[in-house]
Structure 1
Amino acid sequence: MDFKASDAIPGPRAEDRLPHTAQAAAKIVIVGGFGVGKTTMVGAVSEIRPLTTEETMTQAGIGVDDNYGSDTKTATTVAMDFGRIRITDQVVLYLFGTPGQERFWFLWNGLFEGALGAVVLVDTRRLEVSYDVMGQLEERGVPFVVAVNSFPDGPRYPVEDLREALDLTPEIPIVECDVRRRASSRDVLLTLMRFLHSMALSGSLV
């Protein structure tokens, strides 16, 4: 069969190729409840075109999915989001955003496998949806930091009040962020890497 030139499969963009200086890579998962900003964070911070598996929300999700504060949301992640960012010229992070609805949590097993650490995105309007998420990470032994996504109508709480409400130990970092801003999302990832480094130095990261 003859193929026209236009039928050729396009190769990766130059900016999507892994930098030749990269010497180490780590898998990081971005987790949280439905609509907390996981897809937005991956898209904002990724240096490559992010891979998303969003599908249009349908009437079937009514009464099943928790869509509080997401009345204008028309699509939802059903498998994962994927992106990549260089923290330094030598260190590359592969980012995997998880689906938020509980009915898709069976996919988390594969996404958590091999993860060095995680970011738990929190919406202060519904802190309770974070409990099971953090429980899943603790059960699997995946270290994490908590990032409070700043929604315009979300209440603000002192860090220590949040730590108590989320039942977090003193060493787990809590940071505020705006996942729409690349710099803010990158700062969250840097916080996670510093936390993991401190765990490695103390011998608590295995």
Structure 2
Amino acid sequence: MDFKSSETITGPRAEDHLPHTAQAAVKIVIVGGFGVGKTTMVGAVSEIKPLTTEETMTQAGIGIDDNYGSETKTATTVAMDFGRISITERLVLYLFGTPGQERFWFLWNGLFEGALGAVVLIDTRRLEVSFDVIGRLEERGVPFVVAMNTFPDAPSYPIEDLRAALDLSEDIPIVQCDARRRASSRDVLMTLMHFLYSLTMSQAHT
């Protein structure tokens, strides 16, 4: 489930420039295990041509990268994905998709710097690949929401069962999404923004 584009970026287009009404820009990271749909989500929701750092998968990844459920995947993110979406006329989100393979996780520290929040994209066929991802966010104190990406053969579990399996507190939102669809991916980002707002209001009253 990858967003693919072979076009070469030759320079900024008119639609790539920030709206003149924009007053605030927020950095958001989209994280998850290998092949859960991070590149797809950034590509689906970005209002500008997304920047991707995908490379063709080679024999070097065999036995190292867990590609279960992504056996047909031919390219993988090796640095980051980048996109942008305007949530309102005044608020713009910069989206950074992280590489999923553990051997590239050393890049995460830089991507997390300055991030206001994160989306953890999960594949219910491989929940175990999300454990370390969530642990890293919790260690760094980055607020996050969890989005279940819908794959055709993925099992569906009640939200509370997923919450227990991922050992998440009751306040962390868990939503379902289709990372291929702009509206669905945008709804996930709106869930994150509402969650961040609620955290800010809670801290203001303590």
TM range (shorter): over 0.9
Q: How much has 1:12 moved relative to structure 2?
A: 1.4
Structure 1 Cα separation of the partners of residues 123 and 10 of structure 2? 40
SS class of match (1:139): helix
What's 1:89 paired with?
89
Instruction: Please state if 1:111 is matched with 2:97.
Output: no
Number of aligned residue pairs: 196
Structure 2 Cα separation of the partners of residues 11 and 160 of structure 1? 47
Q: How much has 1:10 moved relative to structure 2?
A: 5.3
Structure 1 Cα separation of the partners of residues 12 and 105 of structure 2? 31
SS class of match (1:128): helix
TM-score, normalization: structure 1?
0.94
Coordinate RMSD, CA, aligned? 1.1
Structure 2 Cα separation of the partners of residues 36 and 128 of structure 1? 12
Structure 1 stretches of 4+ moved >4 Å: none
What's 1:59 paired with?
59
Pick closer, same or farther for the CA change 1:11–1:60 going to 2, 3 Å. closer
What's 2:32 paired with?
32
Percent identity of equivalent pairs? 83
What's 1:171 paired with?
171
Q: How much has 1:21 moved relative to structure 2?
A: 0.3
Pick closer, same or farther for the CA change 1:133–1:13 going to 2, 3 Å. same
Q: How much has 1:11 moved relative to structure 2?
A: 4.2
Trace 1:1-206 onto structure 2 (pairs within 5 A). Answer: 11-203=11-203
Structure 1 Cα separation of the partners of residues 174 and 60 of structure 2? 35
Structure 1 Cα separation of the partners of residues 90 and 163 of structure 2? 33
What's 2:6 paired with?
none
SS class of match (1:152): coil
TM-score, normalization: structure 2?
0.94
Q: Which moved more, 1:66-75 or 1:10-19?
A: 10-19
SS class of match (1:66): coil
Unmatched tracts of structure 2, length 5 or more: 1-8
SS class of match (1:146): strand
Pick closer, same or farther for the CA change 1:10–1:56 going to 2, 3 Å. closer
Structure 1 Cα separation of the partners of residues 199 and 165 of structure 2? 24
